[in-house]
Chains A and B, each alone.
Chain A
Amino acid sequence: MKAGSKNAHRQEHARIGGKPRLVLCAPNTPKRPDNLNRLYTLALLYLKNAARQAGWECDLVDAYFSGLPRQETAARILARGAPRLVGFCLHSSSMLEEALGIIQILERQLGRTVPVVVGGHYATHQARQLLEAHDRIHYVIEGEGEGALRALLTALGQGRIRDAIPGLRWRDENGEIRGDLPRSLATDLDELGNIDFDWIEEDIGPADWSMVASRGCCGRCSFCAVGPLWGASGRWRGHSPEWFVARVEELVRSHGATRIIVVDDNFLGGPAPDQRAAAIAALMRQAKIHVPFSVMVRADTVCAYPRAFGELKEVGLHHVLLGLESGDDAILAKLTKGTTRQQGEEATAILDGMDITVTAGTIIFHPWMTRESIRADLEFLNRLMERNPRCYFLGLNELDILCGTPIASEYAGDTWRREWKAADPAVQEIYDRWRLIQATVLFPAMRLAPPEAGLERRRAYAFWQLESLGLALERGATMAREDLFSATQASMSKFLLAQAGRETLERFLEIGTSSRETPDPIDAHERCFL
């Protein structure tokens, strides 16, 4: 078949049963080894509903979840012929890079331009820049995607965009960037429809299922990108308990889910957390469902409504992520966290006392860090884990100052991630050394002896990090980099010997010593929004 007729054949397939077809894709991007999540992109499931409501066919390619390389991703996008429109979820600059590579492959294979729409955290805050810099991107949806996508598809189905669409920017026939209507938000999340899990046909284990019950957060943390994505900081909208429990029941009964990760930014962010928890627990009991599930909440919610967590524990809650960030109240105030160190300690103790495991979210490195603040954080985390045997943290994180967040307005420029340095150069040097320890010691070890192995392994890695950063902090000023690394390598060697055995230690020590091996090219930090 000649290329031209092949293309015509593919285009013919783009209209199945007379309906135009959209393919939505979450591009793949590398994960750090301390990112233990294996989450499919729930946004795709919601957007598929929006496409159907607009009368379009919609296929999904979750390359992030399936770990697909570019060629394979492009092949799956074209598996049923050339779609009329391709959409990408862009949550970071590396996802943009991956998407642009995929679009190039699609164009090469089809011999023509492919209409492309993008959305997600990154696209929301870089909409104009994306359209100005990349002529391969034609439409950008800002914020909540369903309404704008539905309106865009309806307009394209009728030939072209005639009137501005809230939340959509696009380049018109003359190359002008258009669209400045304020975004609109769904007033009732249940009306977005029942998301359909049937599309996930491959490689999903019974413990890999995830769900979402709400959007937004009642908190107003200065660094958080959640509020700006969903319209405003402090705004929370929930699915009804009935909707949520019906989806959980579907996952358990129809898909054999044995564990569910509930990925809400704040599971109990509404005005009456205790009533919501009680309603969800009652509905689960009524449906005779008991499934282990995990949620993310604020520490002050746990302190104010401990019974809510007792109710949820009875129907399966087994793990909670608390964004504690710091053990220094002055830093918590800078982050406008709205919680205190004491609340963090209380919340962890309440959950630990219920036999619920706790991941403490941390932000140790930031522009205001001092020796004292780092010392306070290390002491806080150490004490937290010693007092609560079911508590751990995965990494000692740095602050990302992302475009669109309240804190970003204090920094010049309009880039996605604002650069920052600590005010004290000696403290910045400690941070620089820590990043090298992460890259050359901690992460290679985590790849060989993964923290997923269990609670004790995770806690052991957490304690190792506290000890090693403590060494860099307390002796860094008098110790040469080389000597710090000798000591840290020895420390990790001892850790691996105890945790994973001699064979794993030998493999760890081989890394980088072979002339054939070169380190992976690595870009800047990326937070996972998926």
Chain B
Amino acid sequence: MPGKSLEQALDWIMKGDNGKAFRKDFEVVLKHVKGLSEADIKILKKVHQKGMPEVEKHIEIEVSGQRSYGWEQN
């Protein structure tokens, strides 16, 4: 099923200390999850890129805007 391997790879990153291993070495996810397409790998590379360096850009940023409990739903 298209996307299944990508889902498995994301699951793998979320599990235990795998996030740490993935952050240090992108290739590690490829060793553990087989059958990833080029498009999947491209997405995983972006997930890797959006690790802490990305967060650091936001480190001083707080969450803002008019907040509400939300009166409504559709």
Residues of A participating in the B interface, judged by any CB pair closer than 8 Å: 29-37, 39, 92, 94, 207, 261, 263, 294, 296, 319, 321, 323, 357, 359, 361, 392, 394-395, 397, 435-436, 438-440, 443, 452, 454-455, 458, 479-487, 489-491, 493-494, 497-498, 502, 505-506, 509-510, 512-513, 519-520, 522-528, 530
Contact present for A528 and B19 (CB under 8 Å): no
Complex interface residues of chain B between 60 and 74 (CB less than 8 A to chain A): 61-74
Count of inter-chain pairs, beta carbons less than 8 A = 185
Contact call A497/B50, Cβ cutoff below 8 A: no
Partner of B14, one of A439, A487, A498: A487
Q: How far is the CA of A486 from the CA of B70 in the complex (A)?
A: 30
7 closest pairs, A vs B, by CB?
A: A482-B52, A486-B19, A509-B46, A32-B65, A522-B64, A487-B19, A528-B68
Contact B51 A486 (CB under 8 A): yes
B63 touches A35 (CB 8 A): no
Checking A392, A489, A512, A527 against B47 with a beta-carbon cut-off of 8 angstroms, the contacting residue is: A489
- What string of 1s and 0s marks CB contacts (under 8 Å) between B22-48 and chain A? 110000000000000001000100111
Chain B hits for A497, CB < 8 A: 3, 6-7, 10
CA distance A489 to B18 in the complex (A): 13
Q: How far is the CA of A443 from the CA of B67 in the complex (A)?
A: 12
The chain B residue sitting closest to A260, CB to CB, is B72
Assess A458 versus B73: contact at CB under 8 Å? Given A487-B14, A512-B50, A513-B54: yes
Known: A397-B67, A483-B19. A525 touches B13 (CB 8 A): no
Distance between Cα atoms of A526 and B48 in the complex (Å) = 33
| B66 contacts A527, C-beta separation under 8 Å | yes
B64 contacts A436, CB within 8 Å? no
Q: A513-B46, A519-B61 are in contact. Are A491 and B10 (CB under 8 A)?
A: yes
Give the docked Cα–Cα distance between A361 and B22 (Å).
37
**B contact residues, total (Cβ < 8 Å):** 41
Residues of chain B lying within 8 A (CB to CB) of residue A486: 13, 19-20, 22-23, 47-48, 51-52
Residues of A within 8 A of B47 (CB): 486, 489-490, 493, 509
**Provided the pairs A483-B23, A493-B10, A513-B50 are in contact, do residues A296 and B61 lie with their beta carbons within 8 angstroms?**
no
Known: A482-B52, A483-B20, A502-B3. A35 touches B65 (CB 8 A): yes
| Candidates B14, B62, B72; contact of A491 at CB < 8 Å | B14
How far, in angstroms, from A255 to B1 measured CA to CA in the complex? 49
CB neighbours (8 Å) of A32 from chain B are 63-67
Are A530 and B66 in touch, CB under 8 angstroms?
Answer: yes
Indicate if the CB atoms of A321 and B64 lie closer than 8 Å: no
Residues in chain B near residue A491, CB distance under 8 A:
10, 14
A183 to B49, CA, bound (A): 57
